[in-house]
Amino acid sequence: MKQVFLVFLGGGFGSVLRYAISKPLNTTLQNFFLGTFLVNIIGCLLIGVILGLSSRSNFLSTNTTLFLATGFCGGFTTYSSFAFEKHSLLKNSDLFNFSMYTIASIAVGVLAIAFGLWLSKLVD
């Protein structure tokens, strides 16, 4: 039950922070959802660092990893918003921005995870 509470608590913090970041930024550019893009990339970087650190023996406890990776990063990042925004671009026949947003989100997200894993190796 403690682990469920940690995931719940982390998810709440992540969701509130996602809202605070993405709400104002999603209105700054037309046809590119900067807020969603940034929280997803930051979340990829964070989960790379967290899982990289947790893979080391005794650096992060199982409960800390659950709170940060599953809870916080799970609440902070948002695949459903990403999918909805892509749908709205397709609905408006904006194939260029749909393609750029999709490719950039996936490519930069994978690179951010790799960078986060690399960063985790620098911590002693």
Give per-residue pLDDT as tens, 85-123.
Answer: 999 999 999 999 999 999 999 999 999 999 999 999 988
Length of the chain: 124
Known binding-site residue numbers? 74, 77
Average pLDDT, the chain: 92
Known binding-site residue numbers for Na(+)? 74, 77
> Looking at the domain assignment, is residue 75 inside a domain?
yes
Q: How large is the average pLDDT for residues 16-27?
A: 93
Domain residues for the domain of 47 are 34-120
Q: What is the pLDDT of residue 31?
A: 78
> Looking at the domain assignment, is residue 109 inside a domain?
yes
How many domains, in total, are found in the chain?
1
Residue type, 89: L
> Looking at the domain assignment, is residue 9 inside a domain?
no
pTM over 0.75: yes
> Looking at the domain assignment, is residue 47 inside a domain?
yes
Residue 32's pLDDT band, with cuts at 50, 70 and 90, is confident
User: From residue 48, how far is each of 4, 37, 62 by CA, in Å?
Assistant: 22, 17, 16
> Looking at the domain assignment, is residue 6 inside a domain?
no
> Looking at the domain assignment, is residue 17 inside a domain?
no
CA dihedral 62, 63, 69, 73 (to 10 degrees): 180
Residue 14: closest CA among 70, 83, 52: 70
> Looking at the domain assignment, is residue 64 inside a domain?
yes
